[in-house]
Amino acid sequence: MVTKLNEEEVASSAAWALGRLQDLRAVKPLMAKLDDNLDIRSEALGALANICRDEIDQKLLSKEIDIDYPWLDPKESITEKRVAEAVSKLKLTQEEVRQRYEDLAREFNLKLEWVSTTD
């Protein structure tokens, strides 16, 4: 049985596939998808994590911190509670986790609860 995919499903699947290729040429098109709808932007962030980041940063970008999928919504702020959870699960210091999130925020235009947007 053949099912018809909508544009959002195709875009989300394409982002996933680009992440699996781990080709740096995919970074720019994936960055453009970080402003799309929730499914597409989350999958694009996951693809970017697979291409550009080490295992710890991939875990920091996953919803459950200690697994690889599903991915965070890049439009939602990363909270202090999430930092504390990452410290506990990844056995890193709070400073290490915050620094990694700050680096990720600069790279992928993520929001951080502890950083003012007016700076």
Q: Are the C-beta atoms of residues 101 and 83 closer than 8 Å to each other?
A: yes
Backbone φ/ψ region at 111: left (φ over 0), alpha (ψ -120 to 50), beta: beta
pLDDT digits (tens, 9 = 90+) for 74-105: 999 999 999 999 999 999 999 999 999 999 99
pLDDT digits (tens, 9 = 90+) for 30-74: 999 999 999 999 999 999 998 988 999 999 999 999 776 789 999
Exposure string of 94-116, with b = 16+ CB inside 10 Å and e = fewer, is eeebbebbeebbeebebebeeee
| Domain residue ranges of the chain, discontinuous segments joined by + | 7-108
pTM of the model: 0.84
Place of tokens 């960055």: 31
Grade residue 4 by pLDDT with cuts at 50, 70 and 90.
Answer: low
pLDDT at position 1:
56
